[in-house]
Amino acid sequence: MRKGMAGRLLAGACLQFTAMAAQAQTLTVSPAQTLEAQGLSVIVEQNHFSPIFFDEKNAGVQMILHGERIATDGEVRLSPTPEQWAPVPTFGARTLGTAPGEIVVTSSYPEHNLKYRVKVTPEDGGFRIAVDLDAPLPPQLVGKAGFNLDFLPTAYFGKTFLMGSTPGLFPRNAAGPMAKDQSGDPLPIASGAQTITLSPEDPTTRVTITANAPLALYDARNRAQNGWFVVRSMIEAGATTDAVVWHVKPNVIPGWTRAPVISFNQAGYTPGREKVALIELDPAFNGPAEATLVRLTESGTRDVLTAPIQPRGKWLRYAYAAFDFSTVREPGLYAIRYAGQTTNPFPIAADAYARIWQPSLDTFLPVQMDHVTVREQYRVWQRDSHRDDARQAPPNVTLFDGYRMGTALDSPFKAGEHIPGLAVGGFQDAGDYDIQTPQNAQVVRDLVWAQELYGIDWDETHVDEAARLVEIRKPDGTADALQLIRHGARQLLAQYKVFGHAIVGIIDPTLQQYTHLGDAGSQTDGRIYDAALGANTIAGDRSGVPDDRWAFTTHFPANDLAIAGGLAAASRALAALDPALSAEALAAAKALWESQKNASGNSSDGRDDGGYDPGLLDAAKVSAVVELLITSKGDPAYQADLRKLLPAIEARFERMTGPALRALPWMDAAYAKRIRAKAAGVKAKVDAWIGGNPFGVPISTGGWAGSGLVAAFGSDMYMLHKAFPDLIGPEYTLRALDYMLGRHPANNLSFVSGVGGRSKLMGYGHNRADYGFIAGGMVPGVRVIQPDYPEHMTDWPFLWFENEYTVSTTASYILAARAAGAATAEKP
């Protein structure tokens, strides 16, 4: 089969070479001010560099060629291989120019008094990019400023390029060369000609650039693993109008249309549930009107259902159709055939969802545990990490990842001083190894809820807190969920014991440490910094290396409330396993609640810019007091506190749905009546929120893809269904599961690594330098690249907004997956 397919691809390629010479493409301006032709979109700064994350590889001039965003960051840059935190231009405005189809962007580097326009104009076979400076380059930027365009490495691995007529191979891994001078900068891998052709052999990714000055090709991975291939030309001293002129000719295959994406739940379906696959279609694709469900048997495949596909409208750039095979209930293995392609198989089985949450619980979350060694048979995921936690972060500092501190430390420790007691428990938030306090609290609470509401009785992991050792695939007789809850609670409680309040979090002090890829245990030396020791000196558990993480200690009410809820929940979950910790956690939760129940004003957690949204602070209060209410089995004091918050719940019910519902058994009929009245309005609100997208779940269009939002939606909607089955059905929860496990835009991979037949096997986790994954982690999923391109790159792990696992969204997934399991039990 492999051989035949290669033959077909090659034959197609030859045809396309011939056709390409004969036909030029004409780009036209869209209403959103992109340039469009069938098979090519040129995005002209509809996406901006981020004020928080800076260079996200989603800005400037970009190209989507044959369905893939192969080029980004077309802009004036101040170095050949800028890193994420390097200077980025400030977007000014985008207008239509005077030439036909011309789009003009004004941009600047205000700190250098550099102002310019980038003009993008359609021309024969492609488009022209020109940069006009308002004034010649300031002297300090001569030899530094140039025009860069970044190309996606994975689109060019194994392919070639021509710099003028000089051939080259795109390197598979970073291979230099680096400057031997002090800069140590990456040198070009090819340079000197005024024309470059990328992948002349591949009609789907071939791009030719001709410039008015010599071009250079860089491999930015020489500087950072997440770098792209960069084509660059320099801006000459004194140049203004047409300081840079490029003619960009992307090969566009005439008549190309994108192959349909048949998306479905990669874990399969339980027999009694709704089963609807969605087919994502290029509007120019002339597809058949029917799809077929095939069954796989020991003697091959046979068709079991052929049915018309039902149009579901257009959403962003694609059209959608549904293929409903709910009538097929017989357990077995099936696949969907449409327009000549057949999907990978999936089961219809009563136990289809019995284990979909297991790797999240017994692999991903253990791998993220901080302050322990994590071993999985022969593999050591990390050595006991961050034993040197933590030093007091200084005042008036702005770090990365949103961490900042003003004048108030709210801490008894002096800047730089070691804070004893914090090197215990907790979860490394995401691909970046920090402890984010509110997210840690959420993991604890969601695991408690999953255990209480649906059961997650599972023991595959050995956890020895005293030995600071975790071993995956080594059952120890204690439920893994309880061990994870305890581990999270230990960090939350540690913060409370040290400071009397929650802190913002604990993170690396320097960018060099923050960009660490690999074993968390080698991110610091594990020895407490001692300024009296020399830089290379070790004395017992101390060293002269100031690499210990910093604690950001500012006191925010929202964080106190978050850990109060987490600790109150943990205290009831751990009552039998660890009575002492359970009692301590409850006492802390009570004290924190009493101190913050009347808090007003700042609702920020210290990393976001939440600021002064009283609704968010109320949501944090409801979340906290409900855990105390449940743990105390309906203490009248907490009933009264919650009753006072009822108007806030009614004002923002969608933000507090879960806690408001969990309180029901402990509140009176009047409370229940008011909650029911809010629940009655949810369906209409939710349907409006979903806004007619074909997936039946809310889809985030913001800067971070939204699988976490879908998980929370899935569990909220099931809790509503359980409380008010006459108002809300179970279908929302099942559609949320379908979305997370494959039925979403862009492709049909399950977003939970290792779960389902085909899943996301490249994540932005601790092992992303190896293009690896961590089983059970859920990636954010599909981001909408403005104006209309839903993207989830399958083979490039370094876009955090599509690929970064986080502990809180993965815990949310566990809760939602269990809710979906419960929903299917209604119609097995």
* Structure-token match 């087919």, residue found: 279
In whole angstroms, give the CA distance from residue 384 to residue 774. 18
* 3-state SS string for 623-681: HHHHHHHHHCCCCHHHHHHHHHCHHHHHHCHHHCHHHHHHCHHHCCHHHHHHHHHHHHC
One-character DSSP codes across 559-590? HHHHHHHHHHHHHHHTTTT-HHHHHHHHHHHH
Residue 765 beta carbon to Ca ion: minimum distance, rounded to whole angstroms: 13
Q: Is the dihedral of CA 762, 764, 769, 772 positive or negative?
A: negative
387 or 501: CB nearest Ca ion: 387
Least spacing, CB of residue 402 vs Ca ion, in Å:
8
| DSSP designation for 5 | H
Nearer to Ca ion, 222 or 524 (CB): 524
What's the closest the beta carbon of residue 444 comes to Ca ion, in angstroms? 17
Nearer to Ca ion, 434 or 641 (CB): 434
CB of 714 to Ca ion, least distance (A): 24
SS3 821: helix
Residue corresponding to tokens 């949810």: 682
Nearer to Ca ion, 117 or 391 (CB): 391
Q: State the minimum distance, in angstroms, from the CB of residue 577 to Ca ion.
A: 11
| 302 vs 337: CA distance, rounded Å | 11
When the beta carbons of 381 and 695 are compared against Ca ion, the nearer one is 381
**Burial class of 643 by CB neighbour count within 10 A (0 to 12, 13 to 18, 19+):** middle
Find the shortest distance in angstroms from Cβ 648 to Ca ion: 29
User: Which residue matches tokens 């449409």?
Assistant: 338
By C-beta, is 1 or 535 nearer to Ca ion? 535
Cβ neighbour number for residue 675 with a 10 Å cutoff: 23
Q: At closest approach, how far in Å is the CB of 526 from Ca ion?
A: 6
- Using Cβ positions, the residue closest to Ca ion within the complex turns out to be 388
Of the pair 121, 806, the CB lying nearest Ca ion is at: 806
Report the C-alpha gap between 329 and 316 in whole angstroms. 33
At 99, the amino acid letter reads A
Find the shortest distance in angstroms from Cβ 463 to Ca ion.
Answer: 6
Whose CA is closest to 268, among 748, 646, 600, 672? 748
Shortest CB 542 distance to Ca ion, Å:
8
Q: Which is nearer to Ca ion, 159 or 355 (CB)?
A: 355
Residues 6+ apart with CB under 8 A from 276: 322, 323, 324, 325, 326, 738, 743
**Of the two residues 429 and 791, which places its CB atom closer to Ca ion in the complex?**
429
Q: Toward Ca ion, which CB reaches closer, 248 or 361?
A: 361
Answer whether 62's CB lies under 8 Å from 148's CB: no
Structure tokens at 648: 């806030």
CB closer to Ca ion, 548 vs 584? 548
- How far apart are CB 431 and Ca ion at their closest, in Å? 8
Q: Minimum distance from CB of 354 to Ca ion (Å)?
A: 19
User: What are the C-alpha distances in Å from 812 to residues 246, 283, 447, 711, 737?
Assistant: 47, 35, 8, 6, 12
What are the residues binding Ca ion (CB under 5 A)?
388, 401, 429, 432, 434, 459, 461, 476, 478, 480, 524-525, 527, 547-548
What is the DSSP track for 450-472?
A: HHHHT------EEEETTTTEEEE
Strands 373-376 and 379-382: antiparallel
Contact 583, 495 (CB under 8 A): no
The CB-of-284 to Ca ion minimum distance in angstroms stands at 41
Report which DSSP code applies to 822.
Answer: H
Q: Taking the complex as a whole, how short is the minimal distance between the CB of residue 246 and Ca ion, in angstroms?
A: 37
Instruction: Return d(Cα 812, Cα 721) in angstroms, integer.
Output: 18
